Amino acid sequence: MRIFFCCTLALLISGCGRQTTDAAGPAEPPRFPVKVVTAQAQMVPEVTDYLATLKSRNASALQPQVEGEVTRIFVRSGEKVDAGAAILEIDPKKQQATVNNQEATYKSKLATMEFDRVDLERKRKLYAAGVIAKADLDTAQAAYDAAKADAEALAAGIREQSEQLRYYTVRAPTTGIIGDIPVHVGDRVATTTVLTTLDRGGELEAYIYVPAEKSGAVRANMPLEIMSDEGKTLLRTTVFFISPEVDTGSQTLLLKAKVLNTVLKFRNDQSVHARLIWSEQKLPMIPVTAVSRLSGKMFAFVVEGEGQKQVARQRVIQVGDLIGNDYVVLDGIHSGDRVITSGVQMLTDGMLIVPQT
Protein backbone atom coordinates (compact mmCIF):
# COMPACT_ATOMS: atom_id res chain seq x y z
CA MET A 1 0.00 0.00 0.00
CA ARG A 2 2.83 2.42 0.89
CA ILE A 3 4.61 1.62 -2.38
CA PHE A 4 1.50 2.39 -4.44
CA PHE A 5 1.04 5.85 -2.76
CA CYS A 6 4.64 6.88 -3.43
CA CYS A 7 4.41 5.98 -7.12
CA THR A 8 1.16 7.89 -7.51
CA LEU A 9 2.67 11.03 -5.88
CA ALA A 10 5.70 10.86 -8.12
CA LEU A 11 3.54 10.69 -11.24
CA LEU A 12 1.46 13.68 -10.09
CA ILE A 13 4.58 15.80 -9.45
CA SER A 14 6.03 14.84 -12.82
CA GLY A 15 2.80 15.77 -14.63
CA CYS A 16 2.58 19.15 -12.92
CA GLY A 17 6.13 20.00 -13.93
CA ARG A 18 5.42 19.35 -17.61
CA GLN A 19 2.28 21.47 -17.58
CA THR A 20 4.17 24.53 -16.09
CA THR A 21 6.93 24.45 -18.74
CA ASP A 22 4.48 24.14 -21.60
CA ALA A 23 2.39 27.07 -20.35
CA ALA A 24 5.40 29.51 -20.16
CA GLY A 25 6.59 28.81 -23.73
CA PRO A 26 10.03 29.76 -25.15
CA ALA A 27 11.72 32.97 -23.75
CA GLU A 28 11.61 36.18 -26.06
CA PRO A 29 14.91 37.72 -27.26
CA PRO A 30 15.81 41.04 -25.58
CA ARG A 31 14.97 44.36 -27.30
CA PHE A 32 17.59 47.14 -27.25
CA PRO A 33 16.41 50.66 -26.27
CA VAL A 34 17.51 53.42 -28.71
CA LYS A 35 16.83 57.09 -29.25
CA VAL A 36 15.19 58.02 -32.53
CA VAL A 37 14.69 61.23 -34.53
CA THR A 38 12.66 61.74 -37.69
CA ALA A 39 14.74 62.99 -40.60
CA GLN A 40 13.40 66.32 -41.87
CA ALA A 41 14.24 67.85 -45.24
CA GLN A 42 15.71 71.32 -44.88
CA MET A 43 16.93 73.92 -47.34
CA VAL A 44 20.63 73.17 -47.57
CA PRO A 45 22.94 75.57 -49.44
CA GLU A 46 26.10 74.80 -51.36
CA VAL A 47 28.38 77.54 -50.09
CA THR A 48 31.92 78.87 -50.07
CA ASP A 49 33.26 81.21 -47.40
CA TYR A 50 35.34 84.23 -48.37
CA LEU A 51 36.83 87.25 -46.64
CA ALA A 52 35.06 90.36 -47.97
CA THR A 53 35.89 94.06 -47.60
CA LEU A 54 33.15 96.61 -47.01
CA LYS A 55 33.43 99.82 -49.01
CA SER A 56 31.32 102.92 -48.57
CA ARG A 57 29.99 104.73 -51.61
CA ASN A 58 29.34 107.68 -49.32
CA ALA A 59 32.87 108.14 -47.97
CA SER A 60 35.40 110.56 -49.40
CA ALA A 61 39.02 111.41 -48.69
CA LEU A 62 39.67 115.10 -48.13
CA GLN A 63 42.83 116.43 -49.78
CA PRO A 64 43.97 120.06 -50.01
CA GLN A 65 44.03 121.88 -53.31
CA VAL A 66 47.00 123.99 -52.20
CA GLU A 67 50.32 123.37 -50.48
CA GLY A 68 51.44 124.88 -47.20
CA GLU A 69 51.70 124.54 -43.44
CA VAL A 70 48.74 123.49 -41.31
CA THR A 71 47.93 126.33 -38.89
CA ARG A 72 44.56 125.28 -37.42
CA ILE A 73 42.42 122.14 -37.12
CA PHE A 74 38.77 122.88 -36.32
CA VAL A 75 37.34 119.37 -35.80
CA ARG A 76 38.05 116.09 -33.99
CA SER A 77 38.00 112.52 -35.27
CA GLY A 78 34.53 111.00 -35.01
CA GLU A 79 32.79 114.39 -34.94
CA LYS A 80 29.72 114.93 -37.08
CA VAL A 81 29.91 118.08 -39.22
CA ASP A 82 27.56 119.88 -41.56
CA ALA A 83 28.22 120.66 -45.19
CA GLY A 84 30.49 123.70 -45.52
CA ALA A 85 31.93 123.42 -42.01
CA ALA A 86 35.61 124.40 -41.70
CA ILE A 87 37.81 121.33 -41.21
CA LEU A 88 41.37 122.65 -41.38
CA GLU A 89 43.31 125.78 -42.25
CA ILE A 90 46.54 125.99 -44.24
CA ASP A 91 48.67 129.11 -43.68
CA PRO A 92 47.20 131.70 -46.11
CA LYS A 93 49.65 134.55 -45.40
CA LYS A 94 51.74 134.13 -48.52
CA GLN A 95 48.69 133.86 -50.73
CA GLN A 96 47.07 136.83 -49.02
CA ALA A 97 50.24 138.87 -49.66
CA THR A 98 50.11 137.90 -53.32
CA VAL A 99 46.51 139.08 -53.58
CA ASN A 100 47.32 142.35 -51.79
CA ASN A 101 50.26 143.00 -54.10
CA GLN A 102 48.16 142.36 -57.18
CA GLU A 103 45.42 144.64 -55.92
CA ALA A 104 47.96 147.44 -55.43
CA THR A 105 49.28 146.86 -58.93
CA TYR A 106 45.73 146.88 -60.25
CA LYS A 107 45.16 150.35 -58.82
CA SER A 108 48.26 151.53 -60.68
CA LYS A 109 46.95 149.95 -63.88
CA LEU A 110 43.63 151.69 -63.43
CA ALA A 111 45.40 155.03 -63.03
CA THR A 112 47.37 154.44 -66.23
CA MET A 113 44.20 153.42 -68.07
CA GLU A 114 42.40 156.55 -66.88
CA PHE A 115 45.30 158.74 -68.03
CA ASP A 116 45.28 157.10 -71.46
CA ARG A 117 41.49 157.50 -71.67
CA VAL A 118 41.69 161.22 -70.96
CA ASP A 119 44.53 161.62 -73.48
CA LEU A 120 42.50 159.73 -76.08
CA GLU A 121 39.49 161.99 -75.61
CA ARG A 122 41.67 165.10 -75.94
CA LYS A 123 43.31 163.88 -79.14
CA ARG A 124 39.94 162.99 -80.65
CA LYS A 125 38.92 166.58 -80.24
CA LEU A 126 42.23 167.85 -81.65
CA TYR A 127 41.95 165.49 -84.62
CA ALA A 128 38.39 166.67 -85.25
CA ALA A 129 39.67 170.25 -85.24
CA GLY A 130 42.44 169.32 -87.70
CA VAL A 131 45.20 170.13 -85.23
CA ILE A 132 46.87 166.66 -85.14
CA ALA A 133 47.36 163.90 -87.65
CA LYS A 134 45.44 160.63 -87.75
CA ALA A 135 48.56 158.75 -86.67
CA ASP A 136 48.63 160.63 -83.35
CA LEU A 137 45.00 159.65 -82.71
CA ASP A 138 45.73 156.01 -83.54
CA THR A 139 48.67 156.02 -81.15
CA ALA A 140 46.51 157.35 -78.35
CA GLN A 141 43.83 154.77 -79.10
CA ALA A 142 46.37 151.94 -79.03
CA ALA A 143 47.81 153.13 -75.73
CA TYR A 144 44.37 153.21 -74.14
CA ASP A 145 43.40 149.78 -75.47
CA ALA A 146 46.66 148.30 -74.15
CA ALA A 147 46.19 149.91 -70.72
CA LYS A 148 42.60 148.65 -70.56
CA ALA A 149 43.53 145.11 -71.55
CA ASP A 150 46.37 145.13 -69.03
CA ALA A 151 44.03 146.23 -66.24
CA GLU A 152 41.39 143.64 -67.16
CA ALA A 153 43.98 140.85 -67.25
CA LEU A 154 45.25 141.84 -63.82
CA ALA A 155 41.67 141.97 -62.49
CA ALA A 156 41.12 138.41 -63.73
CA GLY A 157 44.36 137.37 -62.02
CA ILE A 158 43.20 138.95 -58.75
CA ARG A 159 39.90 137.03 -58.93
CA GLU A 160 41.80 133.81 -59.54
CA GLN A 161 44.21 134.41 -56.66
CA SER A 162 41.33 135.41 -54.37
CA GLU A 163 39.52 132.20 -55.28
CA GLN A 164 42.74 130.32 -54.59
CA LEU A 165 42.83 131.97 -51.18
CA ARG A 166 39.52 130.27 -50.37
CA TYR A 167 41.16 126.88 -50.73
CA TYR A 168 43.43 127.53 -47.76
CA THR A 169 40.45 126.70 -45.55
CA VAL A 170 39.39 123.08 -46.19
CA ARG A 171 35.65 122.64 -45.74
CA ALA A 172 33.32 119.63 -45.55
CA PRO A 173 31.71 119.00 -48.94
CA THR A 174 28.72 117.25 -47.32
CA THR A 175 27.31 116.39 -43.93
CA GLY A 176 29.10 113.42 -42.41
CA ILE A 177 31.39 111.98 -39.76
CA ILE A 178 35.06 112.91 -39.65
CA GLY A 179 37.49 110.01 -39.75
CA ASP A 180 41.06 109.85 -38.54
CA ILE A 181 43.09 113.07 -38.88
CA PRO A 182 46.70 111.99 -39.50
CA VAL A 183 48.11 115.53 -39.88
CA HIS A 184 48.94 117.96 -37.08
CA VAL A 185 49.35 121.69 -36.70
CA GLY A 186 52.74 122.59 -38.13
CA ASP A 187 52.84 119.80 -40.72
CA ARG A 188 53.46 120.79 -44.30
CA VAL A 189 50.92 119.28 -46.67
CA ALA A 190 50.78 118.91 -50.44
CA THR A 191 47.88 118.37 -52.81
CA THR A 192 48.43 114.60 -52.52
CA THR A 193 48.20 114.57 -48.70
CA VAL A 194 45.07 112.93 -47.23
CA LEU A 195 43.92 115.24 -44.45
CA THR A 196 41.02 113.09 -43.21
CA THR A 197 37.95 111.20 -44.45
CA LEU A 198 34.29 112.15 -44.40
CA ASP A 199 31.68 109.39 -44.25
CA ARG A 200 28.02 110.15 -44.85
CA GLY A 201 27.09 106.67 -43.57
CA GLY A 202 24.34 104.51 -45.04
CA GLU A 203 24.69 101.67 -47.51
CA LEU A 204 27.97 99.83 -48.02
CA GLU A 205 29.22 97.48 -50.70
CA ALA A 206 30.87 94.12 -50.01
CA TYR A 207 33.85 93.39 -52.30
CA ILE A 208 34.38 89.63 -52.74
CA TYR A 209 37.17 88.17 -54.85
CA VAL A 210 36.50 84.63 -56.10
CA PRO A 211 39.04 82.43 -57.92
CA ALA A 212 39.04 82.71 -61.69
CA GLU A 213 38.07 79.04 -62.10
CA LYS A 214 34.75 79.85 -60.39
CA SER A 215 33.91 82.60 -62.90
CA GLY A 216 31.67 80.29 -64.91
CA ALA A 217 29.48 79.59 -61.87
CA VAL A 218 28.86 83.14 -60.72
CA ARG A 219 25.65 84.89 -61.71
CA ALA A 220 23.79 88.06 -60.92
CA ASN A 221 21.53 88.03 -57.84
CA MET A 222 23.44 85.17 -56.23
CA PRO A 223 22.59 85.02 -52.50
CA LEU A 224 25.32 86.21 -50.17
CA GLU A 225 25.36 86.11 -46.38
CA ILE A 226 27.45 88.29 -44.10
CA MET A 227 28.54 86.16 -41.14
CA SER A 228 29.66 86.93 -37.61
CA ASP A 229 32.91 85.58 -36.18
CA GLU A 230 30.79 82.91 -34.44
CA GLY A 231 29.33 81.75 -37.77
CA LYS A 232 25.89 83.33 -37.36
CA THR A 233 24.19 85.03 -40.29
CA LEU A 234 24.05 88.79 -39.71
CA LEU A 235 22.28 89.65 -42.96
CA ARG A 236 21.46 88.23 -46.37
CA THR A 237 21.90 90.11 -49.63
CA THR A 238 22.53 89.42 -53.32
CA VAL A 239 25.32 90.02 -55.82
CA PHE A 240 24.58 93.00 -58.08
CA PHE A 241 27.92 93.42 -59.86
CA ILE A 242 30.24 90.94 -61.57
CA SER A 243 33.48 92.28 -63.00
CA PRO A 244 33.71 91.72 -66.77
CA GLU A 245 37.36 90.72 -66.48
CA VAL A 246 39.65 88.72 -64.19
CA ASP A 247 42.43 90.51 -62.34
CA THR A 248 45.62 89.46 -64.11
CA GLY A 249 47.76 89.68 -60.99
CA SER A 250 45.67 87.71 -58.50
CA GLN A 251 43.59 85.70 -61.00
CA THR A 252 40.42 86.58 -59.12
CA LEU A 253 37.04 87.92 -60.16
CA LEU A 254 35.47 90.83 -58.29
CA LEU A 255 31.86 90.55 -57.10
CA LYS A 256 29.92 93.27 -55.29
CA ALA A 257 26.88 93.04 -53.03
CA LYS A 258 24.97 95.83 -51.31
CA VAL A 259 25.04 95.80 -47.50
CA LEU A 260 22.42 97.78 -45.59
CA ASN A 261 23.90 99.61 -42.64
CA THR A 262 20.95 101.37 -41.07
CA VAL A 263 22.15 100.83 -37.48
CA LEU A 264 25.81 101.53 -38.31
CA LYS A 265 26.83 97.98 -37.43
CA PHE A 266 29.55 97.99 -40.08
CA ARG A 267 32.34 100.42 -40.95
CA ASN A 268 34.04 101.51 -44.14
CA ASP A 269 37.03 99.28 -45.08
CA GLN A 270 35.94 96.64 -42.52
CA SER A 271 36.81 93.01 -43.30
CA VAL A 272 33.95 90.56 -42.77
CA HIS A 273 33.21 86.87 -43.35
CA ALA A 274 31.02 86.40 -46.42
CA ARG A 275 29.31 83.18 -47.49
CA LEU A 276 28.57 82.92 -51.21
CA ILE A 277 25.64 80.56 -51.91
CA TRP A 278 26.06 78.75 -55.21
CA SER A 279 22.81 76.74 -54.99
CA GLU A 280 20.13 75.62 -52.51
CA GLN A 281 18.13 72.40 -52.32
CA LYS A 282 16.03 70.50 -49.78
CA LEU A 283 17.92 67.56 -48.26
CA PRO A 284 17.49 65.54 -45.06
CA MET A 285 19.84 66.18 -42.17
CA ILE A 286 20.74 63.77 -39.36
CA PRO A 287 22.83 64.18 -36.19
CA VAL A 288 26.48 63.16 -36.21
CA THR A 289 25.71 60.62 -33.46
CA ALA A 290 23.61 58.64 -35.97
CA VAL A 291 26.52 58.11 -38.35
CA SER A 292 29.18 55.41 -38.17
CA ARG A 293 32.12 54.71 -40.46
CA LEU A 294 33.42 51.33 -41.55
CA SER A 295 35.93 50.48 -44.29
CA GLY A 296 35.68 53.95 -45.74
CA LYS A 297 31.87 53.92 -45.95
CA MET A 298 29.28 55.78 -43.89
CA PHE A 299 26.36 53.97 -42.28
CA ALA A 300 23.21 54.83 -40.35
CA PHE A 301 20.45 52.75 -38.76
CA VAL A 302 16.75 53.37 -39.38
CA VAL A 303 13.72 51.91 -37.64
CA GLU A 304 11.56 49.47 -39.58
CA GLY A 305 8.46 47.58 -38.46
CA GLU A 306 5.77 48.37 -35.92
CA GLY A 307 4.96 47.61 -32.33
CA GLN A 308 6.91 44.77 -30.75
CA LYS A 309 8.58 43.88 -34.06
CA GLN A 310 10.52 47.11 -34.66
CA VAL A 311 14.06 46.40 -35.83
CA ALA A 312 17.17 48.39 -36.73
CA ARG A 313 18.10 48.36 -40.43
CA GLN A 314 21.55 49.41 -41.49
CA ARG A 315 21.90 51.62 -44.58
CA VAL A 316 24.88 52.86 -46.53
CA ILE A 317 24.63 56.64 -46.80
CA GLN A 318 26.41 59.49 -48.54
CA VAL A 319 26.85 62.69 -46.59
CA GLY A 320 27.73 66.23 -47.56
CA ASP A 321 28.76 69.16 -45.41
CA LEU A 322 28.58 69.21 -41.65
CA ILE A 323 26.28 72.06 -40.58
CA GLY A 324 26.43 72.59 -36.85
CA ASN A 325 26.03 69.09 -35.35
CA ASP A 326 24.16 67.62 -38.33
CA TYR A 327 25.28 65.92 -41.52
CA VAL A 328 23.61 66.74 -44.81
CA VAL A 329 22.55 63.40 -46.32
CA LEU A 330 22.93 63.16 -50.07
CA ASP A 331 21.74 59.55 -50.42
CA GLY A 332 20.50 56.67 -48.26
CA ILE A 333 18.14 58.57 -45.94
CA HIS A 334 14.84 60.14 -46.94
CA SER A 335 12.62 62.70 -45.30
CA GLY A 336 10.36 60.96 -42.75
CA ASP A 337 12.76 58.08 -42.01
CA ARG A 338 13.17 57.34 -38.31
CA VAL A 339 16.91 57.45 -37.67
CA ILE A 340 18.57 55.90 -34.62
CA THR A 341 20.89 58.34 -32.84
CA SER A 342 22.17 56.35 -29.84
CA GLY A 343 24.09 53.13 -29.39
CA VAL A 344 24.74 52.70 -33.12
CA GLN A 345 28.08 50.97 -32.41
CA MET A 346 26.22 48.18 -30.55
CA LEU A 347 23.52 47.57 -33.16
CA THR A 348 23.39 44.90 -35.82
CA ASP A 349 21.18 44.74 -38.86
CA GLY A 350 17.75 43.32 -37.96
CA MET A 351 18.21 43.69 -34.22
CA LEU A 352 15.04 44.18 -32.17
CA ILE A 353 14.81 47.62 -30.65
CA VAL A 354 12.64 49.79 -28.43
CA PRO A 355 12.52 53.29 -30.02
CA GLN A 356 12.45 56.29 -27.71
CA THR A 357 11.67 59.65 -29.28
Question: Which of 297, 321, 309, 322 has the alpha carbon at shortest distance from 352?
Answer: 309
Domains of the chain: 32-42+282-356 (2.40.420.20), 48-58+201-281 (2.40.30.170), 65-89+169-200 (2.40.50.100), 92-167 (1.10.287.470)
| Bridge pairing between strands 271-287 and 68-73 | unpaired
Q: DSSP letter string over 237-256?
A: EEEEEE-SS--TTT-EEEEE
Detail the DSSP E strand segments found in 260-350. Answer: 271-287, 292-294, 297-304, 311-323, 326-331, 338-340
CB 316 within 8 Å of CB 332: yes
d(CA 232, CA 272): 12
Give residue 138's pLDDT. Answer: 93
Give residue 28's pLDDT. Answer: 64
Phi (first) and psi of residue 313, to 5 degrees: -115, 130
| Bridge pairing between strands 59-62 and 68-73 | unpaired
d(CA 269, CA 236): 19
Give residue 23's pLDDT. Answer: 47
Give the pLDDT means over successive 10-residue stretches in the chain (357 positions). Answer: 40 42 57 92 88 89 93 93 94 91 93 94 92 92 94 93 91 91 94 92 91 92 92 91 94 94 80 92 92 92 90 93 88 93 91 88
pLDDT per position as a tens digit, 43-60: 888 889 999 999 988 888
d(CA 241, CA 208): 10
Give residue 22's pLDDT. Answer: 46
d(CA 123, CA 311): 129
Strand order in the sheet with 176-178: 59-62, 196-199, 176-178, 80-81
Give residue 229's pLDDT. Answer: 87
Give residue 2's pLDDT. Answer: 41
Residues pairing with 273 in the sheet: 51, 227
Indicate whether this model's pTM tops 0.75.
Answer: no
The answer for residues whose C-beta is within 8 angstroms of residue 263's C-beta and 6 or more apart is none
Phi (first) and psi of residue 296, to 5 degrees: 80, 0
CA gyration radius, the chain: 46
Give residue 27's pLDDT. Answer: 60
